[in-house]
Amino acid sequence: MRGHRFSKFIPAEQGPNSKFDQLFDIFQQLLLMTSGDVSEAMSWLSELDRQYNLTNDSYGIGDFFDDLKKKGYITEEKQDGESKIIMTPKAEKSIRKSALDEIFGKLKRSKTGGNHHTPHMGTGDELSSDIRQFQFGDTLDQIAMTESIKNAQVNHGIGDFTLMENDLEVVEREQKTTTATVVMIDISHSMILYGEDRITPAKKVALALAELIRSKYPKDSLDIIVFGNDAWQIQIKDLPYLEVGPYHTNTVAGLELAMDILRRKKTRNKQIFMITDGKPTCLKEGIRYYKNSFGLDRKIINKTLTLAAQCRRLDIPVTTFMIATDPYLKQFVQNFTQVNNGRAYYSNLQGLGGFVLEDFQRNRRKNVK
């Protein structure tokens, strides 16, 4: 006999308080700290579970690992004849979104978070929140219907509806700008010295900025540069895997590459964000590296300041985020900032994201001449 059998429905645990989501938040942090090594991140997660009882008898680390596979966050592939667990593009995007929520979370609650505009009103293709009286030449799509109908009812009564030209109000247009941004990340060995992990917060900020631009300012461009003994460009998808190397700090190479990238951008608004914790200690002269880690080397510093002045002539402000507070390093950054006419922030690791967001928004509002 065919029919239906009814039983008590017990919904699966879902939402931000589910065990998977709780573990996944921690797992994403561990992926950044292990430079995208899934196996090492899982080992750390197991150790944290042993110490802090993150799981229970009904949901364990093995269940979490299986769910990661089922949900498409990790996959297994052959590398050099061996099987290896790697992140998928879905996991990389999730890490960017997580970084955006963590670093720039206040943006969603801000009433003016998305208004990056110039002072030029009445032109452009973006609608603002400002309302004004209708003028000859305004298009129908600009008319603020609610405000216009309310004016008609106030001016002519509600018994016999009449809408006149002087009742109409329109939403003002504003001219939006595009910005080309280059983020320079120091990957010299000092970024993990003295028992402090400085590279992970730098990666988080770059990931958050990338997701912010992709989601809210898709016409903007963002390029990522890393610099040690040399400088090279990386893709946004490579950020979670970024590692510090046994490098000195060749700031000159980073600035030269950043300027070369920005020269090819057609927008007038260009900017460089440099995240570093130390002084320039390296130059490349032909195929030879000139290095000096003992104090501020005059030869290296003068070359760095020359490039700062060149950026200023090209109207490219350099904003330096210094993750250090040594007096002699602050003096160098002050000199660099004065020559470039840029800005400098001496930030701890927790405040870095707020400074980056503030400066990014300020530079996007720059008046285009």
Give the relative orientation of helices 352-364 and 199-216 as an angle to the nearest 10 degrees.
30
Query: What does each C-alpha distance from 100 to 105, 206, 215, 319 come to in angstroms?
Result: 6, 9, 10, 20
| Beta-carbon contacts of residue 69 (< 8 Å; ≥ 6 apart) | 75
* pLDDT at site 180: 92
Q: Is 196 helix (H, G, I), strand (E, B) or coil?
A: coil
Exposure letters 306-340 (e unless 16+ CB within 10 A, then b): ebbeebbeeebbbbbbbbbeeeebeebbeebbebb
* pLDDT at site 222: 94
Q: Are 226 and 242 in contact (CB under 8 A)?
A: yes
Q: Are 252 and 280 in contact (CB under 8 A)?
A: yes
Q: For residue 294, which amino acid is it?
A: F
The yes-or-no verdict on residue 223 having pLDDT over 60 is yes
- % of the chain beyond a pLDDT of 90: 45
* pLDDT at site 83: 87
Query: Which of 228, 242, 251 lies closest to 311 in space, CA to CA?
Result: 251
Q: Pick 205 or 114 by higher pLDDT.
A: 205
| Beta-carbon contacts of residue 220 (< 8 Å; ≥ 6 apart) | 178, 179, 180, 181, 213, 364
Q: Mean of the pLDDT values across residues 160-166? A: 84
Q: Which element (helix H / strand E) includes 79? A: strand 74-79
CA distance 92 to 200: 15
What would the pLDDT profile of 288-345 be if each residue is shown by its tens digit? 999 998 888 999 999 999 999 999 999 999 988 877 667 777 888 889 999 999 888 7
